[in-house]
Structure formats: C-alpha cells, structure tokens
Amino acid sequence: MKVSTIFDPSDFLGPQFGGENLRVLKKNELRQYDEYRTKRVILEIYDAMAEAIRTGRPYQTRLDPPPADLRAAHPPRRGGRL
C-alpha cells in the first residue's frame, strides 16, 4: 500500500470505492489553491525522509519551529502540575 492511499483510497481500491479520507479538506484546498496541497506537501516530506534514509544523511525538517522546540510548548500551568 502506498502513502498516497491515505489521501485518495480510490487510487488503491478502484474508482468504485465510495469512501474518501479528508474529503472536506481536499474539497476546500482544491477550491482555495487549485490543488490538494496537503497531499502534495506530505508526499514531498515522505520522499525527503525516504531519501535521507537511503543516503544516510540526516533529515532536515521543514517545520519551524522544529518538533520539541520550547517556543512551541504550552506555558506551564500554575502549581507546576500537568
């Protein structure tokens, strides 16, 4: 199964398949951007991660701030408890 199946299951299961994940997101992005942008970006990131694995080079995230960066953390709660 390909990663793109998550976005367009009919590619994998055939055009008669009635279900579709993220249908509203796809519809809105096609209207706003003339493309299914989320699918394109996720597949680009997946390809970049696969290339990093294949070549042994570290993957460079596109996220800003990167994951686990304290700038993206919630402020501490009063009393210091979670």
pLDDT in tens, 3-36: 666 667 766 777 666 666 677 888 999 999 999 9
Residue 75 maps to a domain: no
Structure tokens at 65: 């701030």
Percent of the chain with pLDDT over 90: 38
- Residue 40 tokens read as 């394109």
Using alpha carbons only, give the angle 5, 1, 32 rounded to the nearest 5 degrees.
15
Is 7 a member of any domain? yes
**65 assigned to some structural domain:** no
Per-residue pLDDT at 22: 75
Token pair belonging to 68: 């686990």
Question: Is residue 50 predicted with pLDDT exceeding 90?
Answer: yes
Residue 70 belongs to a domain: no
78, part of any domain: no
pTM: 0.66
Specify which of 15-24, 47-56, 63-72 reaches the highest per-range mean pLDDT.
Answer: 47-56
DSSP alpha helices (H): ranges in 1-82?
A: 9-13, 23-33, 37-55
User: Does residue 69 fall inside a structural domain?
Assistant: no
How many structural domains does the chain have? Answer: 1
